[in-house]
């Protein structure tokens, strides 16, 4: 076998037949390196097989056996499945250890697997009418050939399927290529671990001698991927910081007057955050800071302090809210607190399309609006500070838009979504972070209870009790179907029922399908206390501040994610009244109960976020919202603090040694090629 280079095309190596090369190519595998860096999705320890299960267990098993019988069976009219009976290897026909495997609606299976075949099976057994079944197992036919040492008596790799190339062949290709490739040619763009040669790591990632070895090898490649990600994050951060910003925030007269006018003291966390912001404003670099704090932790006051510092320096400050309602709410709050200090505050929301050019008359010092403030051409006088009140995510694009417009203001992003530190380093890795981890004093406690199928009469009584004390109530219904329309319909049906049950009170409906004017009218009437009960979908999730509302009943709570439930619950407990959140559930799934129990036990947003990460894994937590990250090959390592810290430290070290990457053009190329939008 001759030596080939990692960068060679697969077709340059004569070990793979042409039709397989085509199949690889359509799966995006073009070069030798592509094939070798396609790590197995899991391994099977074929040195020792599991014994045939006598009952359904918790996890998957790996079995070796012989097919003794097979047939096609019909069910439900025209549908069919293929059934195969397998006995434990070596036991022969007298054995009682057998298992049935079924493949539904895969008619070609009968040409693939038949009596006499020896197989290796992998899947989750279940019990059904006294027999043990595995439906749709991973399987591999054991063949008598010289390659047996690759497929048996060792820990073998199992790859993601490629149509047209069976596992065995994929494995042979990987095995042979690992031996044919020139180790030198596998040298990484940047060596994240000089003590672990990359060729060795690849070998052990495919054909390890122990599961630990496989894990260590996989971690090596995860580190490689996260290093590239962190390098690009740290690089971007350096790019922003390299811009000349302005020195603001020298004068503190307004801030002092503001502090004196407050009826409460800022929390220590608020004070710390204000200090951090002021330090950024005073530095000649533009500020890029993230202010993280649970709902109700007092972010708005930190925003006000920062904006007053800007105003005192003679520049304008803008606050952008995600929705019109929120912008209006902020505007009222700002008016209330800042007008007495003589600060001019203006509201610009551009709700009408034709408002693309917004006049800023009266020379306001503080401008409050929606994100439209970024997209419409506004004649700012001298914009020195931008605060973005962002509930869920904030794209790089918003910041770069300001930079494109030739402005380099200080930027503070506020988020109410607590994110575990590891994710912050990645998602917001180019921002400095301030955390409000303390609730202002004088807030009523929030009691959370999980209830399995509670009686409607009990809930009604509970609600009436609070209404009679003058409080207000949220009744929240989940997304019933993956459709806004059905969702709205379900809430509408429930709304009619509640109107009858609570006929002495003002009940209103709020859902996403309503025209914006109607939504605003309902919200305003709830805020002003004219509406007592809001029957709503998750539209109430986003920052509505009604301190008098102290009761929330969430139906089918199991259908919501933890973060979303936490966000919803943040709507209550905003005033001095003790508050109550009832999570109603069908109680069918133990996982859902465990999830809901987290909320009953803690109201600490960071703890909840960590539990969410643990229960669902980073891929699901991030969802499609952070698609850049969902594309990561090693997305599961997002929860690995140590790995991410290590990647970060490596990236920082590289850029410290070589800030412009002049000595590392390949790394510079890596940043530009792999430009991950995070």
Q: What would the x/- binding string for ligand ADP be over residues 542 to 561, using CB under 6 A?
A: ---x----------------
The region of 185-193, 289-297, 583-591, 623-631 touching ligand ADP under the rule CB under 6 A is 289-297
Is 273 near ligand ADP (CB under 6 A)?
A: no
What DSSP designation does 346 have? Answer: E
Min dist. Cβ of residue 230 to ligand ADP (A): 29
Neighbours of 11 (CB within 10 A): 14
Min dist. Cβ of residue 280 to ligand ADP (A): 19
Q: Closer to ligand ADP by CB, 188 or 440: give it.
A: 440
Q: Which does 298 bind (CB under 5 to 8 A by kind): ligand ADP, Mg ion, none?
A: ligand ADP
> How far apart (Å, rounded) are the C-alpha atoms in residues 338 and 330?
12
DSSP SS3 for 173: helix
| Binding-site member from 63, 156, 295, 540 for ligand ADP (CB under 6 A) | 295
Is 260 near ligand ADP (CB under 6 A)?
A: no
The alpha helices in 142-267, defined as continuous H runs, are 148-151, 167-180, 198-206, 211-242, 253-261
What DSSP designation does 529 have? Answer: T
| Binding-site member from 173, 199, 219, 299 for ligand ADP (CB under 6 A) | 299
> How far apart (Å, rounded) are the C-alpha atoms in residues 290 and 433?
5
> How far apart (Å, rounded) are the C-alpha atoms in residues 277 and 520?
33
> How far apart (Å, rounded) are the C-alpha atoms in residues 645 and 641?
6
φ, ψ of residue 14 to 5 degrees: the values are -90, 15
Residues 229-245 as b or e (16 or more Cβ within 10 Å = b)? bbbbbbbbbeebbeeeb
- What is the torsion angle, in degrees rounded to the nearest 10, for the CA atoms of residue 387, residue 389, residue 394 and residue 396? -10
How far is C-alpha 483 from the geometric centre of its chain's CA atoms? 21
Min dist. Cβ of residue 622 to Mg ion (A): 23
> How far apart (Å, rounded) are the C-alpha atoms in residues 595 and 611?
8
Counting residues that bind ligand ADP (by CB under 6 A) gives: 17
Min dist. Cβ of residue 608 to ligand ADP (A): 16
Min dist. Cβ of residue 386 to ligand ADP (A): 17
Min dist. Cβ of residue 579 to ligand ADP (A): 13
Q: Closer to ligand ADP by CB, 267 or 626: give it.
A: 267
Neighbours of 174 (CB within 10 A): 23
What DSSP designation does 59 have? Answer: S
Counting residues that bind Mg ion (by CB under 5 A) gives: 1
Min dist. Cβ of residue 187 to ligand ADP (A): 49
> How far apart (Å, rounded) are the C-alpha atoms in residues 626 and 618?
11
Is 266 near ligand ADP (CB under 6 A)?
A: yes
Is 332 near ligand ADP (CB under 6 A)?
A: no
Q: Which does 350 bind (CB under 5 to 8 A by kind): ligand ADP, Mg ion, none?
A: none
Hunting for tokens 């910041």 — which residue is that?
399
Min dist. Cβ of residue 510 to ligand ADP (A): 20
The region of 180-188, 372-380, 435-443, 505-513 touching ligand ADP under the rule CB under 6 A is 435-443
DSSP SS3 for 132: strand
Please provide the distance, in angstroms rounded to a whole number, between the alpha carbons at the two ends of the chain: 44
Residues 429-464 as b or e (16 or more Cβ within 10 Å = b)? bbbbbbbbbebbeebbebebebbeebeeeebeebbe
Q: State both tokens at 220.
A: 């090596």
Hunting for tokens 């002021």 — which residue is that?
278
Min dist. Cβ of residue 321 to Mg ion (A): 9
Min dist. Cβ of residue 537 to ligand ADP (A): 21
Q: Which does 267 bind (CB under 5 to 8 A by kind): Mg ion, ligand ADP, none?
A: ligand ADP
The region of 186-194, 437-445, 497-505, 554-562 touching ligand ADP under the rule CB under 6 A is 437-445
Is 300 near ligand ADP (CB under 6 A)?
A: yes
Q: What would the x/- binding string for Mg ion be over residues 285 to 304, using CB under 5 A?
A: ---------------x----
Q: What would the x/- binding string for ligand ADP be over residues 572 to 591, using CB under 6 A?
A: --x-----------------
Is 232 near ligand ADP (CB under 6 A)?
A: no
Give the pairing type, strands 42-45 and 155-158.
Answer: antiparallel
- Nearest residue to Mg ion by CB is 300
Is 264 near ligand ADP (CB under 6 A)?
A: yes
φ, ψ of residue 295 to 5 degrees: the values are -55, 135
The region of 293-301, 305-313, 526-534, 625-633 touching ligand ADP under the rule CB under 6 A is 293-301
Is 297 near ligand ADP (CB under 6 A)?
A: yes
Q: State both tokens at 634.
A: 């090693």
Q: Which of residues 441-480 bind ligand ADP (CB under 6 A)?
A: 441-442
Q: Closer to Mg ion by CB, 292 or 426: give it.
A: 292
Q: State both tokens at 524.
A: 């305003």
Where along the sequence are the contacts to Mg ion (CB under 5 A)?
300
Interface with ligand ADP (CB under 6 A)? 264, 266-267, 270, 293, 295-301, 440-442, 545, 574
């Amino acid at each position: 076998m001759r030596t080939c280079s990692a960068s060679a095309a697969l077709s340059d190596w004569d070990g793979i037949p042409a039709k397989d090369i085509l199949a690889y190519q359509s799966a995006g595998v073009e070069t030798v390196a592509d094939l070798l860096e396609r790590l197995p999705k899991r391994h099977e320890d074929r040195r020792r097989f599991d014994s045939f299960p006598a009952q359904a267990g918790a996890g998957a098993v790996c079995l070796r056996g012989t097919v003794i019988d097979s047939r096609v069976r019909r069910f439900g009219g025209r549908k069919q499945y293929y059934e195969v009976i397998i006995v434990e290897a070596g036991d022969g026909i007298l054995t009682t250890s057998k298992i049935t495997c079924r493949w539904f609606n895969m008619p070609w299976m009968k040409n693939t697997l038949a009596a006499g075949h020896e197989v290796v099976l992998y899947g989750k057994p279940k019990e059904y009418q006294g027999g043990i079944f595995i439906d749709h197992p991973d399987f591999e036919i054991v063949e008598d050939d010289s390659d047996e040492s690759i497929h048996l008596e060792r820990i073998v790799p199992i790859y993601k399927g490629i149509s047209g190339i069976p596992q065995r062949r994929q494995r042979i290709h990987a095995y042979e290529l690992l031996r044919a490739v020139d180790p030198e040619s596998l040298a990484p763009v940047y060596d994240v671990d000089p003590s672990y040669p990359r060729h060795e790591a690849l070998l052990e990632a495919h054909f390890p001698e122990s599961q630990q070895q496989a894990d260590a090898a996989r971690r090596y490649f995860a580190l490689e991927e996260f290093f590239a990600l962190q390098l690009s994050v740290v690089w971007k951060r350096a790019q922003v910081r390299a811009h000349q910003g302005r020195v603001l925030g020298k004068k503190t007269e307004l801030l002092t007057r503001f502090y004196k006018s407050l009826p409460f003291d800022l929390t220590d966390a608020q004070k710390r955050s204000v200090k951090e912001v002021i330090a950024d404003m005073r530095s000649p670099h533009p500020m890029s800071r993230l202010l993280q704090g649970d709902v109700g932790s007092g972010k708005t006051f930190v925003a006000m302090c920062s904006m007053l510092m800007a105003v005192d320096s003679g520049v304008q400050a803008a606050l952008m809210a995600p929705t019109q309602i929120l912008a209006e709410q902020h505007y009222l709050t700002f008016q209330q607190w800042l007008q007495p200090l003589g600060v001019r505050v203006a509201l610009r929301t551009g709700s009408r399309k034709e408002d693309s050019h917004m006049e800023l008359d009266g020379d306001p010092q503080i401008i409050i609006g929606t994100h439209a403030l970024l997209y419409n051409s506004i004649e700012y006088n001298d914009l020195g500070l931008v605060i973005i009140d962002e509930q869920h995510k904030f794209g790089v694009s918003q910041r770069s838009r300001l930079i494109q417009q030739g402005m380099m203001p200080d930027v503070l992003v506020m988020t109410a979504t607590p994110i575990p530190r590891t994710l912050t380093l990645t998602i917001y890795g180019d921002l400095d972070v301030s955390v409000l981890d303390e609730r202002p004093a004088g807030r009523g406690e929030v009691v959370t209870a999980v209830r399995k199928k509670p009686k409607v009469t009990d809930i009604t009584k509970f609600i009436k009790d609070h209404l009679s004390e003058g409080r207000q109530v949220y009744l929240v219904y989940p997304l019933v179907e993956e459709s806004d329309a059905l969702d709205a319909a379900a809430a509408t049906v429930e709304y009619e029922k509640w109107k009858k049950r609570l006929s002495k009170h003002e009940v209103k409906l709020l859902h996403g399908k309503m025209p914006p004017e109607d939504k605003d009218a309902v919200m305003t009437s709830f805020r002003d206390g004219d509406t007592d009960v809001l029957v709503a979908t998750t539209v109430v999730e986003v920052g509505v501040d009604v301190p008098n509302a102290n009761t929330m009943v969430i139906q089918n709570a199991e259908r919501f994610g933890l973060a979303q439930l936490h966000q919803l619950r943040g709507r209550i407990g905003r005033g001095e009244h003790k508050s109550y959140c009832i999570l109603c559930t069908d109680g069918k799934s133990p996982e859902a109960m465990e999830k809901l129990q987290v909320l009953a036990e803690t109201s600490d947003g960071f703890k909840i976020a960590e539990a969410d990460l643990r229960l669902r894994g980073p891929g699901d937590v991030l969802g499609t919202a952070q698609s850049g990250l969902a594309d990561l090959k090693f997305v599961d390592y997002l929860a690995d603090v140590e790995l991410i810290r290590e990647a970060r430290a490596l990236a920082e070290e590289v850029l410290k040694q070589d800030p412009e990457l002049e000595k590392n053009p390949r790394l510079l190329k890596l940043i530009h090629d792999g430009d991950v939008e995070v």
